[in-house]
Structure 1
Amino acid sequence: MSPIFLRRQYVATMAATPENPIVFYDLINANGVHWSPNTYKTRLCLEYKGLPYRVEYSTLPEVESNMKKLGVPPVKATSPQYTLPVIADPSGDPDGKPHYVGDSFNIAVYLDEKYPAPRYPAIFNSNARSIEHLFIHQYLPTVARVGSTVVMPKLGQTLDQESIEYIKRTRGVSFNSLPQGEAEEKWKAFREKFFEMGLSLDYQDENGPFISGNRPSMIDFAIGGWFHLLQRIAPSELEQIFDWKEGRWRLLWEHIRDIEGRSSRGIMG
């Protein structure tokens, strides 16, 4: 769904309130814990903008059936078509049907347009939305793919068997552990990729804990999403990352966690 199409919907919807909040659809694992890096980005967007919301959870195999029951359109044209995050924003239409938006980046675009600055903090830096999209969808995945071969087997330890089979079937992901020597080489390559990404911090226009300085952006939330996943499944590897760049990544994570913990707006539905 294009941002232009989304903008045409904003006028027809009313603002969320504590009595009629945004519904945020998130993923949980076998232990009832939210873990997804993609849905975490949306959680941060809602918290950062200070919007009232409640949370409804699904496991991976439940997503498609749950979204179809709600009448949510497919998020993607390719399989799997139904993915989370999705939000339901309250509607001013007489029938009361909410406005559904899927995909973490499109949700961020929607929230910035529907709940604009200065009343609500902007998620995207000024005139940088396309650059942030390029970083999140083209560069960051190349970094994450290198490290995921090492940590993905640990994700399998936190998911139920049905969810594991779902990921294998829809994404072709392997949960098999690498031989120690190969895993060490992959982790070394991941560290080098992360080092390259960290060089960008040396070109900040202003000092601050976030990529752009003192205020966060969607790029920070995307990196925070991967830190969130690693905290859940590979905390020892995450601690190694925090020691890189003279503790710079730990500082970013501390400020991301501060955003997540600003309020108790997120209430399990």
Structure 2
Amino acid sequence: MSTTTLAQSANSEEEIIFYDLMCAAPGECWAPHCWKTRMALQYKGVRFRTVWVSYPDIKSLVGHTQPGNPAPTLPVIQHGATWIADSWQILQYLEQHFPSPPLLLPGVSAQTTHFFQCYCESVLSPPVRLCILPKVPAFLDDRGREYFIRTREAALGVSLEEAGRGQTVNAIRVPLGPLAKNLSEYGPYLGGEQISYMDIILLGFLQWFDRADHAAVQTILGMFKSDAGEPVREWYERVKHLAVTRPEAEGGV
């Protein structure tokens, strides 16, 4: 994913334009990385508006933010004359220009938070990705659906159905285990006593899973039930209010 920032001076009072991935349901967020940016904007109460983008239109709209990338990605934000691509780079920008409330907490370094994001992307998500991918086209817009199927099947070398055959969300149990243990011992949030960007990272992935297969997410949330409770489910109940597609002018959570 690109981390390009095309930066010029921007006024913090200027409205941010947020480029998010379209689906068949108008005004509904679903993609995990776009969820991260949306939740960060809303948590900070930043005034923004959304431009919903179908997959085949991404390159023409925001490709200039990711030079050299033949398949540019979302999210992207535009703030005045400043363009930022990549959810992590967007977070850095928001923390600088809209510092309150913070999502990078004093007791949790940016490096630790970035490591957590890398863990979710490279360790937590892959075991269930093939279980989820075949279910994504069902909720995409028509043009996005055709693009998604064509490009993903070309990358995988097989149909989405074949790729997902035999896959199950139970594969997430092992990589999710350390997070459940951390919540049990140091919660109620992933960073301790306060919501942080780590909560948004994990919630973004779970919202993607939930949009594709609600029953699968319920299975995931119940994986670590014990006499002491259900740490992952209890955490999810605390933070799920962050994951809503709000009227942008309202801001805040």
TM-score range normalised by the length of the shorter chain: 0.7 to 0.9
Give identity over the alignment, percent.
Answer: 23
SS at match of 1:57: strand
- 136-145 or 101-110, which deviates more: 136-145
Query: Letter of the aligned partner of 2:211 in structure 1?
Result: R
Matching residue's letter, 1:155? V
Distance 1:105 1:141 in 2: 15
Q: Note the alpha carbon deviations across 1:104-129, whole angstroms, 9 max, x for none.
A: 0000011001122xxx1111122511
Distance in 2 of aligned mates of 1:193 and 1:146: 9
Is this contact kept in 2: 1:28–1:57, CA < 8 A?
yes
Aligned mates of 2:160, 2:249 — CA distance in 1: 31
1:112 equivalent to 2:107? Answer no
- Where structure 2 has 5 or more consecutive residues not aligned to the other structure, the ranges are none
- Partners of 1:199 and 1:107 lie apart in 2 by 29
Instruction: Verify the 8 A CA contact 1:55 1:266 in the aligned structure 2.
Output: no
SS at match of 1:153: helix
Q: Report the Cα distance in structure 1 between the residues aligned to 2:121 and 2:163, rounded to whole angstroms.
A: 22
Out of 91, 103, 125, the residue aligned to residue 123 of structure 1 is 103
2:48 is aligned, of 48, 53, 57, to: 53
Q: Give, in angstroms, the shift of residue 200 of structure 1.
A: 2.6
Aligned length: 239
Is the contact between residue 23 and residue 56 of structure 1 (CA under 8 Å) also seen in structure 2?
yes
Deviation at 1:179, TM superposition (A): 7.6
1:209-258 deviation per Cα after TM superposition (whole angstroms, max 9, x unaligned): x2012222222111111111122110000111121233322333333332
Query: 3-state SS of the aligned residue for 1:251?
Result: helix
* Equivalent residue, structure 1, for 2:235: 252
Structure 2 CA distance for aligned equivalents of residues 155 and 263 of structure 1: 22
Q: Could you tell me which runs of 5 or more consecutive residues in structure 1 were left unpaired when the two chains were aligned.
A: 91-97
Equivalent-residue separation in structure 2 for 1:156 and 1:164 (angstroms): 5
Q: Report deviation, 1:150.
A: 1.3
Q: 1:241 to 1:167 in 2, by over 3 A?
A: same
Distance (whole Å) between structure 1 residues aligned to residue 245 and residue 136 of structure 2 = 27
Which amino acid in the other structure matches residue 115 of structure 1?
Answer: F
Which residue of structure 1 aligns with residue 78 of structure 2? 88
Q: Does 1:176 align with 2:161?
A: yes
Contact 1:47 1:260 in 2 (8 A): no
- In structure 2, what is the Cα distance between the partners aligned to 1:52 and 1:37? 21
Amino acid at match of 1:14: N
Shift of 1:139: 4.8
Give the superposition deviation at 1:22. Answer: 1.0
Cα distance in 1 between the residues matched to 2:20 and 2:56: 13
> Residue 139 of structure 2: SS of its match in structure 1?
coil
> Aligned to 1:227, what secondary structure does the other structure show?
helix
Q: 1:198 aligns with which of 180, 184, 188?
A: 180
For the 8 Å contact 2:120–2:202, the answer to whether it is kept is: no
Question: Does the aligned pair in 1 maintain the 2:191–2:198 contact within 8 Å?
Answer: no
Residue 148 of structure 1 is matched in structure 2 by 129
Residues 25 and 84, structure 1, Cα contact 8 Å, conserved in 2: yes
Instruction: Please tell me whether the aligned partners of residues 21 and 34 of structure 2 are also in contact (alpha carbons under 8 angstroms).
Output: yes
User: Residue 160 of structure 1: CA displacement?
Assistant: 4.5
